[in-house]
Structure 1
Amino acid sequence: MSKKDACIADLKTRVLTLNLAPGAMLDEVSLSAAYGLSRTPLREVLQRLSGEGYISLEANKGALVSAMDFAAMRQFFQTAPIIYCAISRLAAENATPVQLKKLRAAQFEFSKAKGGLDAGAMALANHRFHEITGQMSANPYLFPAMGRLLIDHTRMSQRFYRGAAPQDGVRINQAAHQHDLLIDAIERRSPEEAVEITLDHWALSRDEIERYVWPDPLPNDFGPDDTARQET
Structure 2
Amino acid sequence: MALLLALVPLIGIGALYSSTLLERWRDLSRERVRRIRDEQRSEMAAHLHDSVLQTLALIQNRAGASSEVARIARAQERELRSWLYDGDEPADSDLPTDLRDHAAALELDYPVHIEVVAAGTTVERASGELAAASREAMLNAARHAGGDVSVYIEGAGSRVDVFVRDRGPGFDLDAVPPDRLGVRESIIGRVRRAGGAATVGRGVEGAGTEVHLTLGGGETAGA
Say which one has the larger Rg.
2
User: Higher helix proportion, which one?
Assistant: 1
TM-score by length of 2: 0.28
TM-score by length of 1: 0.28
User: Higher strand proportion, which one?
Assistant: 2
